[in-house]
Amino acid sequence: MDIELAEQLIDSLRVGLILLDHEGRIKSWNGWMQHHSGLTLADVRGQRLDTCFPDISGSRLEASITDTLRFKLSAMLAPSLNPNLLPLYHRPADRQHDQRMQQLIYITPLRHPRCACLIQIHDMTAALRRERRLRAQSTQLIETSYQDALTGVGNRRRFDQDLAQRFRQAQDKQRPIAMLMIDVDNFKAYNDHFGHQGGDACLIQVARTLREGLRRDGDRVSRYGGEEFALLLSETDREAACAVAERLRMAVEQLNLPHPLASGIGHVSVSIGVAAMIPTREQLCYILVAQADLALYSAKDAGRNCCMWYDAASGSASPLPASLIADLAVD
């Protein structure tokens, strides 16, 4: 192969090539380097790379080149672990904003009397952009799979995952965890009266009210099933959980959604069961669910539109303290 053809082939490669001599001076670089750096071979020949690109001084790239020249060691510098020190640009417009290309760099020793090191630079910008886009789409898909299609809150799958994770954390840290089981009162009658579209609209408004009533980052309402919703509260004891429950109950009541078939109330309401514990190592997470469920049905048996908490000492549910309800009503 003649020299002219070899140079044409090297210049046509879609990868940057730099040849350094034994003193670390630039012997050659190809057309790709000229295109993405804006410097011709005549501009850089005979100069050290750190003279052309002062940014690399003290960097891992400079250290790797030194190791290659001295000890004949190869190196690979991935863009995820190394800043893009070389001022190379994926597109000409990127140069104006100094948006450097994402660079994958291979440094290879050469056994040649005039050339000691080959540097190959791959433009990973497009590949990493695709990766970020795919990762974002994957994250969005996962989030969608954990979201209730109707109400937009978490679905049962989300609740089950949160329960297992947060219960285990409470066990490990020996910290309290609480659960609220929330049921829309007389929902079947509401659905029969207003139809499925009216019932769906009701659930959407209730779910939004419950979600907006939360005050801590990380607290999340999930649709447990049908007209039931569930809420897990980490680092929350019984008294604090009861306060949250009563505040949410009042928020739904204040929506004043008409419900002609709700005896004695006349509008949509919810019943809430509260359970809280510091779980032992031996306890299963679904004990908390069972306790909140028992408290919920006690609230419904007590006339609905109220909150009840599970008393582990007696194994039964009790009404919220009157002082707590009064304080929240004033607040």
Strand (E) or helix (H) holding 75: strand 75-77
Cα(143)–Cα(153) distance, integer angstroms: 11
pLDDT of residue 228: 97
Q: Nearest 5 degrees, angle CA 289-CA 293-CA 294? A: 120
**Chain segment 260-276, per-residue pLDDT in tens:** 888 778 999 999 999 99
For residue 8, is it within any domain?
Answer: yes
Query: What is the b/e burial string over 155-179, where b = at least 16 CB atoms within 10 angstroms of the residue's CB?
Result: beebbbebbeebbeebbeeeebbbb
DSSP structural state of residue 308: E
State mean pLDDT over 112-133. Answer: 91
Cα(199)–Cα(177) distance, integer angstroms: 32
For 203, residues 6+ apart whose C-beta sits below 8 A from its C-beta are 150, 151, 184, 223, 227
Determine the structural domain holding residue 57 and report its residue range. 3-129
pLDDT of 1 > 60? The answer is no
For residue 137, is it within any domain?
Answer: no
| Same-domain pairing of 295 and 155 | yes
Task: Say how many Å lie between the first and final Cα of the chain, rounded.
Answer: 88
pLDDT of residue 327: 67
Q: How many domains in the chain?
A: 2
For 253, residues 6+ apart whose C-beta sits below 8 A from its C-beta are 267, 269, 305
| Same-domain pairing of 122 and 150 | no
For residue 139, is it within any domain?
Answer: no
pLDDT of 325 > 70? The answer is no
Residue with the bigger pLDDT between 12 and 19: it is: 19
Catalytic residues: 227
| CATH code, 55 | 3.30.450.20
For residue 69, is it within any domain?
Answer: yes
| Same-domain pairing of 223 and 253 | yes
pLDDT of residue 29: 92
pLDDT of residue 326: 64
